[in-house]
């Protein structure tokens, strides 16, 4: 969860920094400043009003995702009960610690319901502040089961034990499903899942896509020279490394436990791969003879390009369904990793194209003439000037990842049944076609999110294109 919150907060910092650049770099009266590309890009982006509104909508979605437990919760934000001040919902903050201590005795809980769960609405408070939506996504309302529409008559049990018409604050404003779960609460908490899937899956895709695309674009098929022994042993190292690092059971079990456990298992596999690869590379230096010591060209570009074509030849959604169908237990973390590992091809192509253009420019030639290593030239000089169109591809990729996850949730594949997702809410509408609210509202949420990312990506592509500068 910490990783997710940090990822979401990084987006806010990025947007604020872009806006800050546009404001701080404003030319003061009487001050002669040179051209600033960041100022120009932000001014071009602001001209697209739809994209600017989309940026604000995305920022609002991030805020909703972070504070979802405080926006939609069946516990009050603040309450005074029998002289005791309690803050039940505030303990559900993403950075909260442990379980909430409500300072209510067991006898008082048993008086209203039972030990494990009770309806906070049935308590008689001296003072109380409720969230905007007074239901959690998994709360089953026994008085409003069987698909209550937003405009239908809804009941609730008051603190006197009397079943009455629900007041406005306790209504299900977007309706309920068969079990009486609130749709509005599910949409709000589903925002967190959607953003998490988009950010983490495209983070994985970006790591592979940028790295492979940069190597393919910079070296091509003839620039990278290597001794024949090192070349052959490198292939052997990759093959043996993948063979021994392939630990699907351990990685899947780790991902089922949580994203941190999954990352730990993947790090162990990566360490095994790197160790075998480096060991065989060192061993290759011990081989004598002219044949093994002769330098040959390594076709990096061909390897990466053929890999991209091979992966693109397989329908991505079919590949994801196949992999998720064979796992023992459904896990959202596994779905995010699979989406990331199958979505890097577009990013790699953009990075490769930019590096093919940049590698022959003057500053790259100067870096080579000064004797800088290829790794330093790629990551310190070439990549920073090639990532603008790549970021646009990543933005489109986030929208695509959200759509794929929604499709999988709709089909009931790979995503746990207890995980609140927009696709899962949309799937509930298939069971009862007259419950139009279960189809319309989740569909609108998915449509708005995909549109927002696409509008931002298109505007960023136009703003970051230097060829459009007059």
Which secondary-structure segment (H or E) carries 297? strand 295-297
Count of domains observed in the chain? 3
Task: Let me know: does 183 contact 437? Beta carbons within 8 Å.
Answer: yes
Residues 300, 302, 305, CA angle at the centre, nearest 5°?
105
CB atoms within 10 A of CB 332: 22
| Domain presence at residue 256 | yes
Same domain, 155 and 194: no
CB atoms within 10 A of CB 439: 17
- Look at residues 271, 297, 323 and tell me which one is the last residue of a structural domain: 297
| Domain presence at residue 451 | yes
Task: Let me know: does 163 contact 144? Beta carbons within 8 Å.
Answer: no
CB atoms within 10 A of CB 23: 9
CA-to-CA dists, residue 65 to 125, 187, 373, 417, angstroms: 29, 10, 43, 20
Same domain, 337 and 373: yes
pLDDT tens digit at each of 470 positions of the chain? 444 444 444 445 445 444 444 433 344 444 445 556 677 778 878 888 898 999 999 999 999 999 998 899 888 888 888 788 888 877 654 444 434 444 455 445 444 434 345 677 777 888 888 999 989 888 888 888 888 888 888 888 777 777 888 888 889 999 998 888 899 999 999 998 899 888 889 999 999 999 999 999 998 888 888 888 888 888 888 888 888 888 877 877 777 777 678 778 888 988 998 999 889 888 888 777 777 788 888 888 999 999 899 888 888 888 877 777 766 677 788 888 888 888 899 899 989 998 988 888 888 888 888 888 888 888 888 888 887 778 888 888 888 888 888 888 887 777 777 788 888 888 888 878 888 899 899 999 999 999 998 888 888 877 776 555 54
pLDDT at 229: 85
Task: Let me know: does 280 contact 237? Beta carbons within 8 Å.
Answer: yes
Cα separation, 379 vs 242, in Å, equals 26
The SS3 of residue 368 is helix
pLDDT at 316: 80
- Look at residues 235, 270, 297 and tell me which one is the last residue of a structural domain: 297
pLDDT at 186: 92
Cα separation, 135 vs 73, in Å, equals 5
- Look at residues 297, 320, 337 and tell me which one is the last residue of a structural domain: 297
Among 181, 177, 173, smallest CA distance to 146 is for 177
Task: Let me know: does 324 contact 338? Beta carbons within 8 Å.
Answer: yes
Range of 53's domain? Answer: 37-73+131-136+181-224+300-470
pLDDT at 27: 42
Query: What is residue 176's DSSP assignment?
Result: B
**CA 83 from chain center: how many Å?**
43
Same domain, 340 and 415: yes
pLDDT at 205: 92
pLDDT at 392: 81
> b/e string for 166-200 if b means 16 or more Cβ within 10 A?
beeebbbbbbbbeebbbbbbbbbbbbbbbbbbbbb
Which CATH number fits the domain that encloses residue 369? Answer: 1.10.3720.10
Among 283, 303, 123, 142, smallest CA distance to 224 is for 303
């Amino acid at each position: 969860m910490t990783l997710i919150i940090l990822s979401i907060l990084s987006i806010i910092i990025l947007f604020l920094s872009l806006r800050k650049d546009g404001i701080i770099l404003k030319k003061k009266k009487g001050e002669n400043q040179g051209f600033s590309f960041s100022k120009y890009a932000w001014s071009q982006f602001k001209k697209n009003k739809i994209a600017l509104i989309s940026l604000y909508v995305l920022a609002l979605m991030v805020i909703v995702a972070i504070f979802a437990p405080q926006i939609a919760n069946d516990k009050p934000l603040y309450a005074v009960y029998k002289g005791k001040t309690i803050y039940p919902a505030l303990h559900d903050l993403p950075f909260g610690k442990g379980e909430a201590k409500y300072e209510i005795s067991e006898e008082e809980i048993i008086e209203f319901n039972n030990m494990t769960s009770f309806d906070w609405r049935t308590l008689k408070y001296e003072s109380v502040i409720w969230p905007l939506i007074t239901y959690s996504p998994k709360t089953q309302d026994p008085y409003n089961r069987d698909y209550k529409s937003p405009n239908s008559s809804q009941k609730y049990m008051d603190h006197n034990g009397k079943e009455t018409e629900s007041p406005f604050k306790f209504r299900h404003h977007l309706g309920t499903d068969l079990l009486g779960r609130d749709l509005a609460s599910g949409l709000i908490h589903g925002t967190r899942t959607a953003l998490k899937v988009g950010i983490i899956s495209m983070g994985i895709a970006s790591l592979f896509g940028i790295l492979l695309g940069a190597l393919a674009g910079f070296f091509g098929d003839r620039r990278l020279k290597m001794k024949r022994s090192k070349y052959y042993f490198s292939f052997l190292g990759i093959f043996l490394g993948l063979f021994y690092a392939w630990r699907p059971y351990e990685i899947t079990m780790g991902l089922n436990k949580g994203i941190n456990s999954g990352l730990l298992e993947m790090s162990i596999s990566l360490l095994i791969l790197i160790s075998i690869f480096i060991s065989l590379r060192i061993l290759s230096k011990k081989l004598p003879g002219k044949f093994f010591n002769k330098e040959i060209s390594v076709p990096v570009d061909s390897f990466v390009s053929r890999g991209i074509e091979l992966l693109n030849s397989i329908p991505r959604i079919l590949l994801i369904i196949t992999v998720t169908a064979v796992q023992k237990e459904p896990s959202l973390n596994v779905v995010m990793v699979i989406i990331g590992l199958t979505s890097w091809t577009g990013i790699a192509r953009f990075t490769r194209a930019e590096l093919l253009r940049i590698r022959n420019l003057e500053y790259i030639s100067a870096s080579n003439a000064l004797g800088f290593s290829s790794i330093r030239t790629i990551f310190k000089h070439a990549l920073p000037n090639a990532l603008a169109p790549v970021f646009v591809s990543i933005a489109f990729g986030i929208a695509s990842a959200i759509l794929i996850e929604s499709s999988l949730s709709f089909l009931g594949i790979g995503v746990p049944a207890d995980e609140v997702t927009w696709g899962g809410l949309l799937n509930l509408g298939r069971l009862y076609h007259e419950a139009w609210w279960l189809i319309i509202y989740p569909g609108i949420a998915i449509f708005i999110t995909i549109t927002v990312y696409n509008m931002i990506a298109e505007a960023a592509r136009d703003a970051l294109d230097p060829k459009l500068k007059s």
